[in-house]
C-alpha cells in the first residue's frame, strides 16, 4: 500500500479529567473522512502520543480503524528510542489491522546513520506492514540523511518518508535518491506545495484537523499537477498553517479546535494551554478564514 495525498495527523481529544474522549475522537475521524482526506495518522506527535499509555495508544488506533471502516487507510504511529519496544508495538498494531506504520526516528539517544539504518531494518523485518519513516530533527535531535533513506528505500516494506526537517534542499536530495514509487510526504503543511513541485506525494497535515476539505483539495491539485489551484489554496490557508506553530504542536491546533467546538481545551502535561495573546491570534486567523462561521452554520444545520 502507498500513502499519498492528505493524511491527517489527528489530535487525541481528552476530557476534563484527562482521559481519552472516545466519543469526540469518533466524531473527529468521521469529520476527516467526510472532508475527503486520503488517510489518517493517529498517535503521532499531534496526537500527543508521548503521554498516552500503551493501552490508550492501542485504543486510539482501534477507534480510528473502527470509524474508518476501510474507507481510508490508517497509518498508525509506532516509533521510539527502544527498537525492541517499537517492534512489539508494531506487531500489536499489525494484529489490530492497521494499514501501515509511521515510525519516528529514535530520539534522545541520537543514533548514528548506521544505527538508524539498523533500527528501521529490524522493524521492517519484524512486520509485514508498510512503513513510512519519519524524520523530524528539530524534535528528535538526529537527522535521517538522504543516503540513509535511499538505503532504507530498498527494503520492500519501507514505502515512504515523512520529511519534517524543513530543509527543501534535503527533500530534493531525498527525491533524487529514492525510487519513483517511494512516497515522500511533507511533514509541514507550509512546504507541501513546493514538495509536490519536486515530486513529493502529499503531506501529513496538522491543518487538516481544522480544514480537512481544503487540505485534501490542495493535495488533489498537487497530485494532478494543478499548481495554480494548489497555490491558491496554499496562499489562503498559509496563515492557518503558520499559526498552528505559534507554540509547540499540538497546543495551537487543539486550541483552535476548541474554539470550533470540536473538543475540550485539554492537553496532558507537559503540554499546556497557549498564552492568552496567542489564543487571540489563533481566533483571529480562524475568523479571517471564516472557519468559525462555517462551523457554527454546520452545527446549527445539524441541530435542525
Q: What is the model's pLDDT at position 294?
A: 75
29 located within any domain: yes
Q: What is the model's pLDDT at position 7?
A: 98
Cell of 247: 507554540
201 located within any domain: yes
295 located within any domain: no
Q: Calculate the alpha carbon distances from 156 to 3, 54, 147, 159, 182 in Å.
A: 15, 28, 17, 7, 10
Q: What is the model's pLDDT at position 230?
A: 98
**CA–CA dist 13, 27 (Å, integer):** 10
Give the CA radius of gyration of the chain: 18
Q: What is the model's pLDDT at position 304?
A: 52
156 located within any domain: yes
Catalytic-residue membership of 81: no
Query: Residue 241: phi, psi to the nearest 5?
Result: -60, -40
Q: What is the model's pLDDT at position 2?
A: 84
277 located within any domain: no
Element (H, E) at 291: helix 291-303
279 located within any domain: no
* Helices marked H in 244-290: 251-259, 276-288
214 located within any domain: yes
Catalytic-residue membership of 108: no
74 located within any domain: yes
What CATH code is carried by the domain that includes residue 107? Answer: 3.20.20.70
| Domain count within the chain | 1
Q: Calculate the alpha carbon distances from 111 to 122, 124, 154 in Å.
A: 14, 18, 21
Catalytic annotation, pick one of 162, 201, 237, 254 = 162
Catalytic annotation, pick one of 117, 120, 134, 237 = 134
Q: Which of 7, 56, 2 is nearest to 33 (CA)?
A: 7
Structural domain containing residue 216 = 5-225
Write out residues in the chain with pLDDT < 50, as ranges. none
Q: What is the model's pLDDT at position 299?
A: 62
**CA–CA dist 188, 139 (Å, integer):** 13
Q: What is the pTM of this model?
A: 0.96
Contact assessment for residue 72 and residue 33, using Cβ atoms and an 8 Å cutoff: yes
Amino acid at each position: 500500500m502507498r500513502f499519498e495525498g492528505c493524511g491527517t495527523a489527528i489530535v487525541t481529544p481528552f476530557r476534563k479529567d484527562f482521559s481519552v474522549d472516545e466519543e469526540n475522537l469518533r466524531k473527529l475521524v468521521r469529520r476527516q473522512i467526510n472532508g475527503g482526506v486520503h488517510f489518517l495518522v493517529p498517535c503521532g506527535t499531534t496526537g500527543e502520543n508521548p503521554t498516552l499509555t500503551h493501552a490508550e495508544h492501542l485504543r486510539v488506533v482501534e477507534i480510528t480503524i473502527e470509524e474508518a471502516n476501510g474507507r481510508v487507510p490508517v497509518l498508525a504511529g509506532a516509533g521510539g528510542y527502544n527498537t525492541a519496544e517499537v517492534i512489539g508495538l508494531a506487531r500489536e498494531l499489525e494484529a489490530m489491522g492497521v494499514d501501515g506504520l509511521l515510525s519516528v526516528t529514535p530520539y534522545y539517544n541520537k543514533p548514528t546513520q548506521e544505527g538508524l539504518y539498523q533500527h528501521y531494518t529490524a522493524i521492517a523485518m519484524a512486520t509485514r506492514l508498510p512503513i513510512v519513516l519519519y524524520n523530524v530533527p528539530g524534535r528528535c535531535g538526529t537527522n535521517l540523511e538522504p543516503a540513509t533513506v535511499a538505503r532504507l528505500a530498498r527494503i520492500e516494506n519501507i514505502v515512504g518518508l515523512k520529511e519534517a526537517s524543513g530543509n527543501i534542499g534535503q527533500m530534493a536530495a531525498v527525491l533524487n535518491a529514492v525510487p519513483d514509487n517511494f512516497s515522500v510526504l511533507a511533514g509541514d503543511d507550509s512546504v507541501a506545495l513546493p514538495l509536490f513541485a519536486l515530486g513529493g506525494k502529499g503531506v501529513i497535515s496538522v491543518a487538516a484537523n481544522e480544514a480537512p476539505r481544503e487540505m485534501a483539495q490542495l493535495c488533489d491539485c498537487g497530485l494532478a499537477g494543478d499548481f495554480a489551484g494548489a497555490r491558491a489554496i496554499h496562499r489562503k490557508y498559509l496563515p492557518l498553517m503558520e499559526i498552528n506553530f505559534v507554540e509547540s504542536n499540538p497546543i495551537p491546533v487543539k486550541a483552535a479546535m476548541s474554539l470550533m467546538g470540536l473538543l475540550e481545551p485539554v492537553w496532558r502535561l507537559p503540554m499546556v494551554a497557549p498564552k492568552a495573546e496567542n489564543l487571540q491570534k489563533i481566533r483571529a486567523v480562524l475568523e479571517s478564514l471564516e472557519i468559525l462561521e462555517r462551523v457554527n452554520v454546520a452545527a446549527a444545520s445539524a441541530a435542525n
